[in-house]
Amino acid sequence: MRESFVSPYGQSLALLTDFYELTMAYGYWKKQLQDREAVFQLFFRKKPFGGSFAVVAGLETAVEYMQKLQFDSSDLDYLSSLKGAHGHPLFEMKFLEYLSKLKMTCDVDAMPEGTPAFPQEPLIRVQGPLLQAQMLESVLLNIINFQTLIATKTSRVVLAAQGEPVIEFGMRRAQGIDGAFSAARAAYIGGCIGSSNVLAGKLLGMPVKGTFAHSWVMAFSTEEEAFEAYAEVLPENCIFLIDTYNTIKGAQKAVAVAKKLKKKGIEMLGVRLDSGDLAHFSIQVRKILDDGGFPQAKIMASNELDEHLIRDLKVQGAKIDLWGVGTHLVTGKDQPAFDGVYKLCAIKDKKGKWVHKLKLSEQIAKMTNPGILQVRRYAMDGQYIADMIYDILFSLVEPVRIVDPNDTGLIRTPETGSHFHDLLVPVLRKGQLVKPLPKLSAIREYSQTEQAKFALSIRRFLNPQLYLAGLEKSLFDHKLRIIEEIQTREAL
């Protein structure tokens, strides 16, 4: 079983980018700024799904892209064909020659996949030549935004299931081939035990799960015949879909067939419900299975499930042991996009001195944080209590002070005796891996462990308790000074 990432694509993906990344790259090259050292950071502004945090995912995919980034002859031929408004070639041949030799040499620090992260915290920090770091913007956002969205959604579904297994069943409703593949990967990180996507199983080494469709039942003269045939073909995968015609009668027929199979040494593992009132039918079906002598048989449910419906079914006393979640999970249906952004936050001047950068906006939420940032997470008695975003160029003076983002007039200090660790860890140095990335199964386990270190009040779906994740006080003050300097300069 393979657990390292293998790309499903065989061709160059260097042009998987927005057009303006290339026009800016050309501009940097023309102005001889291509090698100016810069720092960009990827972060998000809004809490997804109305929760507290996002579950970071997609790093391994992004690292593979960065390490393989190279413009091939077909890429360069295409770029050479592009024309400007007056019909002249858009890019000089010397620039295309430059691109033909381009190799990624950036340093990348990132939160490990599976880490719960909060708004404004850098998930990834890229430091290196300005042109290279700029060109990573679109593709990093494409990869990290989607996988983080799905991993976050999955973590909520898994929390609602309260320890019962969840399987990703969404390939047929996913947004294209890569949508299905990336969603399966992210869902596994978020806590699913497996996926119906066989390609993901092959390339990622994750478990594949599934039963059969209604068409299997309809292909035979009777339900009993369909169940018996499936058991004969796959005796170790006997989960019968019982709602093709009549759920209750389907359950009764499944029991009757299971009794025959038991004499042959074949065990029915369970049944699946895919329609109707899942709470009502699961309770009735549970009784039929128990009375029939199959108390160990599991009841699996599918049919447009999400965390809210699963929670409600639990409240109603549904007798469901296994959850197959599809459309809502792989599309993040109630929030179809994650609002991660990638911004320049520091650049060296001609003398090699770091100059902090930030974006101003009439919308406070769209202002960015300057500096080369790191996130420090504090814990007390094994539970996380606060995060602090700080600039690695600044000296920290204990006790540190954190500005509450919900009330910037409120300054907090982590409790005495608390422990901490920094979340961004070295991933690439000069474009090369610092150490092998963890296996997907290890990422999944890590994510479950980390999420459990937050209080349930912080993890709840609606109106979660606020968690302190703010700026270190000297960084906050520095940001205010930069804002004042920019406003003064622009007013002249």
d(CA 380, CA 36): 42
Decide whether 32-68+105-149+345-491 matches 151-331 in CATH topology. Answer: no
d(CA 385, CA 398): 17
Q: What is the pLDDT along the chain (492 residues), one digit of tens a residue?
A: 455 555 556 678 999 999 999 999 999 999 999 999 999 999 999 999 999 999 999 999 999 999 999 999 999 999 999 999 999 999 999 999 999 999 999 999 999 999 999 999 999 999 999 999 999 999 999 999 999 999 999 999 999 999 999 999 999 999 999 999 999 999 999 999 999 999 999 999 999 999 999 999 999 999 999 999 999 999 999 999 999 999 999 999 999 999 999 999 999 999 999 999 999 999 999 999 999 999 999 999 998 999 999 999 999 999 999 999 999 999 999 999 999 999 999 999 999 999 999 998 777 777 899 999 999 999 999 999 999 999 999 999 889 999 998 888 899 999 888 999 999 999 999 999 999 999 999 999 999 999 999 999 999 988 999 999 999 999 999 999 999 998 888 777
Domain 32-68+105-149+345-491 has CATH 3.20.140.10: yes
At 197, list the tokens: 């996507």
Give me the residue spans of the domains in the chain. Answer: 32-68+105-149+345-491, 151-331
d(CA 307, CA 325): 9
Q: What count of other Cβ atoms lies within 10 Å of the Cβ of residue 156? A: 25
At 405, list the tokens: 């983002």
Burial 460-482 (b: 16+ CB within 10 A, else e): eeeebeebbbbbbbbbbebbeeb
3-state secondary structure of 414: coil
Rg of the chain taking only CA atoms, in angstroms? 26
Report yes or no on whether pTM surpasses 0.85. yes
d(CA 159, CA 251): 29
d(CA 425, CA 62): 15
Contact predicate 375/422, CB 8 Å: yes
d(CA 326, CA 39): 38
Superfamily of domain 151-331 in the CATH hierarchy:
Aldolase class I (3.20.20.70)
d(CA 336, CA 16): 21
Backbone CA torsion sign across 77, 79, 82, 88: negative
- CA 116 distance to own-chain centroid: 10
d(CA 121, CA 323): 33
At 271, list the tokens: 């049944």
Q: E-assigned strands of 262-416?
A: 270-273, 298-301, 322-325, 340-348, 354-356, 373-380, 383-391, 402-403, 411-412
DSSP assignment of 139-201, as one string?
Answer: HHHHHHHHHHHHHHHHHHHHHHHTTS-EEE--GGGSSHHHHHHHHHHHHHHHT-SEES-HHHH
Q: Parallel, antiparallel, or unpaired: how do β-strands 383-391 and 373-380 relate?
A: antiparallel
At 38, list the tokens: 């810069």
d(CA 472, CA 164): 40
> Does an H or E element contain 473, and which?
helix 473-491
Contact predicate 112/446, CB 8 Å: yes
